[in-house]
Chain A
Amino acid sequence: MMSRAARTATVGAGLSLAVALTGAGLEARAASATGSASATVIGDIASLPITIRFQASPVELVAGGVRVRLTDDRSGPGAGSAFGVTLIGVDETGLASFSIAGATTSSYVVRTSAAETSGPAGLAPDGASPNRAEAGLIYPAEVLAEGQGISIAVSQSGGSPRELTVMVHYN
């Protein structure tokens, strides 16, 4: 005959088994995993945009039936090299060149205002042909060495004054 102590031990073992089975059941029904998330924020040195006004002076170019008029309007606060962007010039094809100041090797992006340009435009590093793209284009972040510039091609149809805002960001 089983003693009282032996019966107690047996019951205890049974409860332990039940608890263990319950725990195993929960583990089998659910599982977790840890994922990761990341983001990269690009800095903004040109806190104020350079505004290039399409008007009669000082630059007016006609190339390929497209008239481009540019004025480097940087008379407001933050004008000059502190902007980090300098307008170098515009060639006969309407390609406006800018230089990026202040950075060593850096990633950067350029945004032009969509509503203020018409027709295709493109951006490319110095020495490269701009990709043709819709107005309001974005230039992908790429490495840009200090002293190098980017070229911005802008096409505009019609003669009414318009504005093109160029903003440069880099980290």
Chain B
Amino acid sequence: MNTTARLSLLAALLAGAGMVSTSAMAATAVGTANATVLTPIAITAGTALDFGTFAALTGGSVIIAAAGGRSATGTVFLSPGNAGSPASFNVTGDGALTFAVTYPGSFNVTHTNTINTMAVTVTGAATGALVAGAATLPVGGTLTVASGQLAGSYSGTYTMTVEYN
């Protein structure tokens, strides 16, 4: 084999070795990426929490059950003229997800004179579940009535929070 032939053979071997080396050192594959965007949870106030009409006498408490119904402790005298009602909140969100409910601490309802108050605590379920993206959250409460509580109308506000579990 002459010199020219030897060089040609060497070049061919090098070229072949290079091609083999390239395919063995790298590879590719197709992966997938998924994401689910939840519908944000939302809550809006429905009916108000109403403790109804009563006489304080020497005091006690008025209790509105979340499921409905009113009762009293102490000497508080309930008038059936306005039996009160629980509150309701409307929760919307994603599908059938569940959520936790955070109730506020004690808050006050205040007489129209802006001076006299009564303490309120609200209660209800600790969790809820959406059905087709919606749920109604009933809320009851306990109103503490002092002896000789000043007659008149009292009102106040409170904040309810829901969060996906």
Q: Is the CB of B43 within 8 A of A32?
A: yes
> Chain B interface secondary structure, helix, strand, loop or mixed?
strand
A28: chain B residues within 8 A (beta carbon): 38-41
Q: Is the CB of B41 within 8 A of A31?
A: yes
Q: Which residue of A has the minimal Cβ distance to B38?
A: A28
Interface size of A in residues (CB-CB distance below 8 Å): 28
Interchain Cβ contacts within 8 Å, total number: 146
- Is B162 close to A, CB under 8 A? yes
CB distance from B45 to the nearest CB of A (A): 4
- List 20 A–B pairs whose Cβ atoms lie within 8 Å, in order of A's numbering: A28-B39, A29-B38, A31-B162, A33-B43, A34-B157, A34-B158, A34-B159, A35-B158, A36-B157, A37-B120, A37-B122, A38-B153, A38-B156, A39-B109, A40-B51, A40-B154, A41-B56, A41-B149, A42-B151, A141-B79
Contacts from A to B (Cβ < 8 Å): 27-44, 107, 109, 111, 138, 140-142, 167, 169, 171
Contacts from B to A (Cβ < 8 Å): 38-45, 48-57, 62, 77-82, 84, 87, 89, 107, 109, 118, 120, 122, 139, 141, 143, 145, 148-164
